[in-house]
Amino acid sequence: MKKVLAVAGLIIFAACATTPHKSSGLIYMQQGLYNKARVEFQAWVQENPANPEAHIWLGRAYIGERDYLKAADEFVKAYELDADSGKYKSEFGENEINTLLTAGKTLFQQGDDEGALKFFNYAIKLNPKDERAYLAIAIIENKQGKYDDAIRNATKAVELNPQDVQARYYRAKFYSQVGKTEEAVKDLQEVIKMDSTFSKAYFDLGVLAFDMQDFEKAGQLFEKAYNLDSENIDALLNTALSYYRMSKYEDAEKYFREYLEKQPDEYNIWFTLGACLYNQNKMQEALNAFDKAISIKPDYEEAYSFKALIYNQLKMTKELNETIKKIQEIKGNNGGK
């Protein structure tokens, strides 16, 4: 009997010898001492590398240290070790899933698409109903030129959460890239219904309208996008171009000038402003705009050609001859082209 008791005592001692790192680690976690907790959990993993729980807690310690890539790696290891039994599946909660998504986003931003996909796919394994992972995968697939796959995963995200404006917005962009304009417009309109302040949706609708040569509608949409987001100077420029294409030159001038206040070195926009002023018969102002374009790009042949046209109309022979000479000089420097 004494021998049996002795053996039992050894078993209890051996079991206890493998768990102090867990106990200490948990105490440190409660105290917010994540670096000390990490050291204890690393020792636990070293002693029992096949224990999913040890990897889960090590990952949580890494979260405390804001090392999300290492945390995500530990959660992946834990999931794989637990894949057959599923004993610890309930341990994976929102924090673990968010960590996988954060790690995936980090790798995507670093240009590691495959590494990002790995983490996003594991997020889906942990929660197949999390639309965020499907959308993240769709964005990478679109980047890789897998447009059909991107649309399919974006659609999955929309189905899981019909109120996710980002999922609908990105699906609209994917539809637009493959020429499915009607589907893209429908999604963008739904985005605006759900969030009337979503400036990018107005902008993209404006692009689609502009491509369909509905310049009036495009101008309204671009103007709305700019009013919602004054940092979107492309919306401001596109508003001007829409009015220009409608021959509403006074409105176009207003927006071109506002754009040039923000981007004064855009020689091609100075040129377009000059054309806009020319169409309003504001000849001297047009000449000034073309001169501004030339001051930025001295060999701007098109600007000189427009100046020549104006000088000819104004019968300014001397200026016309000097401008024609300059055009010939530019052509000579360009090999006669």
The CATH class of 18-128 is mainly alpha
Helices (H) and strands (E) in the chain, counts: 19, 0
Helix (H) or strand (E) holding 7: helix 2-17
Specify the amino acid at residue 126.
L
State residue 331's pLDDT score.
Answer: 86
User: 234: burial class by Cβ within 10 Å (0-12, 13-18, 19+)?
Assistant: middle
Lowest-confidence region among 2-16, 60-74, 106-120, 240-254: 2-16
Question: Which tokens hold the place of 176?
Answer: 């637009």
CATH of 201-263, one of 1.25.40.10, 3.40.50.300, 1.10.150.240, 1.10.1060.10: 1.25.40.10
pTM recorded for the entire structure: 0.84
Query: What fold does the segment set 280-337 form as a domain?
Result: 1.25.40
Residue in the structure block whose two tokens are 């987001």: 229
Give percent of the chain above pLDDT 70. 94
State residue 332's pLDDT score.
Answer: 82
d(CA 304, CA 311): 10
State residue 13's pLDDT score.
Answer: 33
Q: 180: closest CA among 143, 214, 155, 215? A: 155
Quick: pLDDT tens for 44-99. 999 999 999 999 999 999 999 999 999 999 999 999 999 889 899 899 999 999 99
Q: Is 192 helix (H, G, I), strand (E, B) or coil?
A: helix
Q: In the chain, which residues fall in CATH 1.25.40.10?
A: 18-128, 201-263
d(CA 203, CA 210): 10
Question: Which tokens hold the place of 232?
Answer: 């979107």
The answer on pLDDT for 153 being more than 90 is yes
State the chain's mean pLDDT as an integer: 93
Mean pLDDT calculated for residue range 222-242: 97
